[in-house]
Chain A
Amino acid sequence: MSTLLAVYYAYMVEYRAELVLWVLSGSLPIILMGIWVQASQTGQFTLTPIEFARYFLAVFLVRQFTVVWVIWEFEREIVEGKLSFRLLQPLNPIWHHFASHFAERFARLPFAFMLVGLFFWLYPQAFWLPDLGQFLLALVVMLLAFALRFLIQYTFAMAAFWTERASSLEQFGFLFYLFLSGIIAPLEVFPPLVREIALWTPYPYLIHFPASLLIGLPVNLGQGLLVMGGWSIAFFLLYRWLWKRGLRQYSGMGA
């Protein structure tokens, strides 16, 4: 695994400028932060303007940690027949994708931290330091969130065996992800019923849950970890089932 990580890290840093642009393209939460901070100064919300600012900064960081694009890669490998090479090797192709995503984190994070530094320099009131225990817990949950997000998208990617345009599934699912994960607004401002329902879907645990842990908002840790674990098992089983059927369907196009 270390060889895979080392080589994919080398691959990721080969294009530094592109990486910076990818980091910047994830700055939607920063824009939303501006909107929500403005709104909270006038309206009645459960969070203060400072909390909103911290929340969206945490959302930005969590997204940098958990960004996944495996469905496009997998779809391309199927359409171009490149999956064939991977299938000829005694290692499940998922590990190549996982390693390249994981290695990319290390290439991306320095830029993300620079942006966070810039943010605190511009907006010092929002500065906070989580205590070590809380920070480590948030880090572990972020890793779990990344793994779950990866697994969900990889499961959808299996559709590429049948449709060749699996990424449209992701585009559709992205809508739910955007609203239910807490990227657009923190779950605290959702109507109670919507929030209750959302908390049983995997989405809030991909962004809202680790972001809240990072900034110290109250969360139900036990329920959170259980729901995450449950969805992980469900998606893993579904992925294995689809993978086995998909391989029978595979024709190795163009290769």
Chain B
Amino acid sequence: MAAIVAENLSKFYPVAVKEPGFQGTLQHLFKRTYRNIKAVQNISFEIAPGEVVGFLGANGAGKTTTLKMLTGLIYPSEGKVTVAGQVPFQRKAKFLKQITLVMGQKQQLIWDLPALDSLRINAAVYGIRDRDFEVQIDTLTEMLGLEGKLTQPVRKLSLGERMKAELMAALVHQPQVLFLDEPTLGLDVNAQVSVRNFLREYNQRYQATVLLTSHYMADITALCERVIVIHQGELIYDGSLEGLIDRFAPCREVEIELAKSYTPEHLAQYGDVEAIEGRMAKFLVPQETLTRTVATLLSELEVIDLAVTEPPIEEVIGRVLRSGSIS
């Protein structure tokens, strides 16, 4: 049975519209007009237990709204959703004990008290026995490298430490389904890497299902084999990360260093010239003709050095999110 099932999920929000200027303000005060914003439209997907899936989309694409429907925070306008075999919006204890949501830009820890106090509250709320709580805290502390930090007031922790403590608070009840909304937001590279490693380890150790949004592509490439892409509330891709790159970027960059300079017109006959700088030239070559093009370049030009690279993944995803289509 799938851990997460969404069927034709949609969410519409009424938003009050206000015209600019004084007249608009008066109108807004006495007679409000509302417009329905379609935040999410007809999204369907299934995620198997233990799978780690990246959830991609530009700001405002509807990622967070979808996560909120999957966690039962908001009521779907249309469609069906089940998570861990339960209907999220009913928010039954059995469902809530199996899931968690981590929001990188929000915190649940009490700011002025040591993180351990907030963790204790969570343990009490989830009905975790003292013995189990201690074991779980020891395990997570070790996995996250937070030794000695839990007794300091949260406000005295660094951003990275705080995020780790947030993760701990979200995982103290050993949930099976994790929804992570930008868990590495604002962290430095080292902290990002350690959060990533932790998530991978957690997934492997507990066979937990993870749905992850992140603007850092490194998070996605490190953790997710499968990605779901949404654009303006609609699902535009669901499949492997490699497949996304192949479908959207079926080209390679070929960079050559030449023994002498050639004119751009001369170089253009070998393919799409991306850039020419002195004796360096960069071509964009379709994958099917790659071998042939490289052979021609080597035989017809005086090439000193040649390198074939994939375009950076950020660029590929960026193009997908901007254009909203995969063709």
Contact = CB atoms under 8 A, between A and B. Distances in A.
B268 interface: no
A10 interface: yes
Nearest to B124: A3
Contacts of B126: 89-90
A11 B106 contact: no
Given A3-B123, A89-B125, A10 B71 contact: no
A14 B91 CA distance: 33
B57 interface: no
A251 B16 CA distance: 14
A15 B153 CA distance: 14
Contacts of B127: 90
Given A7-B121, A87-B72, A87-B91, A255 B106 contact: yes
A89 B96 contact: yes
Contact of B112 (A14, A85, A89, A255): A14
Contacts of A89: 96, 122, 125-126
B155 to A, nearest CB: 11
B120 A90 contact: no
Nearest to B103: A255
A255 B103 CA distance: 7
B277 to A, nearest CB: 46
A75 to B, nearest CB: 17
Interface residues of A, number: 24
A88 interface: yes
B106 A84 contact: yes
B120 A7 contact: yes
Contact of A84 (B73, B113, B120, B122): B73
Interface in A3-31: 3-4, 7, 10-11, 14-15
Given A88-B73, A88-B96, A4 B124 contact: yes
Interface of chain A, helix or strand or loop or mixed?
loop
Nearest to B117: A7
A67 B305 CA distance: 79
Contacts of A7: 110, 113, 117-118, 120-121
B14 to A, nearest CB: 10
A28 B276 CA distance: 80
Contacts of A3: 120-121, 123-124
Interface in B61-101: 64, 68, 71-75, 91, 93, 96-97, 99-101
B108 interface: yes
Contacts of A216: none
A66 B318 CA distance: 56
A82 interface: yes
A90 B125 contact: yes
Contacts of A85: 106, 108
A224 interface: no
Contact of B74 (A1, A10, A90, A252): A252
Contacts of A81: 106
A88 B125 contact: no
B206 interface: no
B113 A90 contact: no
Interface string B17-51: 00000000000000000000000000000000000
B125 A251 contact: no
B216 interface: no
A182 B309 CA distance: 81
A248 B75 contact: yes
Interface string A231-252: 0000000000000000110111
A249 B99 CA distance: 22
3 closest Cβ pairs, A-B complex? A3-B124, A90-B93, A85-B108
17 contacts: A3-B120, A10-B113, A14-B113, A15-B112, A81-B106, A82-B106, A84-B68, A84-B73, A88-B73, A88-B96, A89-B96, A89-B126, A90-B125, A248-B75, A250-B74, A250-B75, A255-B105
Interface of B: 13, 64, 68, 71-75, 91, 93, 96-97, 99-101, 103, 105-106, 108, 110, 112-113, 117-118, 120-127
Given A1-B124, A255-B106, 13 more contacts: A3-B121, A3-B124, A7-B110, A7-B118, A7-B121, A14-B113, A82-B106, A84-B103, A85-B108, A89-B122, A90-B96, A90-B97, A248-B75
